[in-house]
Homo-oligomer: A and B are copies of this chain.
Amino acid sequence: MTTERGQTAKAEETRGRILDGALRLFREHGFAETTMRDVASEAGVATGAAYYYYRSKEDLVMAFYLRSDKEAGEAFAKAIASSKDIKKRIRGIIDAKFAQFAEHRSLLTALLKAGVDPRDPLSPFGPETKEVRDDNIAWYARAIEGSDLTVPKDVAPYLPRMLWLYHMGLIYFWIIDESPGQRRTQRLVDTSLDLLVQLLRVSSLPLMGPLRKRALKVLRAVEEE
C-alpha cells in the first residue's frame, strides 16, 4: 500500500466525512447511480479530494468492508463463546457477517465485480486483502479449536481455509439472493452446514479413509504453484 493519506486530525476527519457521505448516498440511491461528484459534494469537497483519500469508487466500498470487518470481531468472539457446537459457532460467525452488511447488501456487488479480476487490488484472493482474509481464517481456526468436532490430523491444516472459502460462497449467494429476507440463503446455510459438519464428523471413520485421501489430494493440488 502507498503512504497512508490523512495523517493530520483534520484530514482524518475529511476522510471519514467522505466515506460516511458516500455510504449514505450509496444506500439511498444505489452504488451505480451515485457519481463521484455526488460523493465529493456531499462531503463538501472537490472531486479530486475523494481520490486523494480513495483510489477508486470501489475503494470506498472496500473501506466500508474493512471497517465492518474490524467491528465484527466482538460478534465473532461472542458466537464462539456461546457454544461448543461447531455448527452453532459457524452459524454464529456467518450470521454476524450477514448482519454487519445487511444494510448495504447490494453494495458488495461492486466489490465482487472488481474482485473477479485477479489482477484487481480488490480481489479477495489478492495480496492486498491478505490481512482481512487471514483474520477471517483465524476466526474459523478459533471456532474449530475447543469445539465438539474432532478433526483428522491430515485435514486440520486445511479446514480453516476451507471454511473461509465456504463462507465466501455463502456471501456470494446471499448477495445475489433476491428472495424476501434472503430466505433462500437462510435455507442454504442451514442445510449445507448440516451436510458439511456431517461430512467432517464422518470423515474420521476408518471406512472413509479413501474418500478423505482424495479430498486431501484436491486441496493439495490447488495450493501448489
Residues of A whose CB lies within 8 Å of any CB of B are: 109, 112-114, 116-118, 125, 176, 178-179, 184, 187-188, 190-192, 194-195, 198-199, 202, 207, 210-211, 214-215, 217-218, 220-222, 224-225
Contact = CB atoms under 8 A, between A and B. Distances in A.
B176 A125 contact: yes
A187 B198 CA distance: 27
A176 B118 contact: yes
Contacts of A194: 214, 217-218
What number of copies of this chain does the assembly contain? 2
B225 A179 contact: yes
B195 A202 contact: no
Contacts of A114: 113
4 closest A-B pairs by beta carbon, nearest first, are A187-B221, A118-B176, A191-B218, A195-B214
A211 B184 contact: no
Contact of A188 (B112, B176, B218): B218
Contacts of A184: 221-222, 224-225
Contacts of A125: 176
Given A179-B225, A184-B221, A195-B217, 7 more contacts: A109-B116, A125-B176, A188-B218, A188-B222, A191-B218, A195-B211, A202-B211
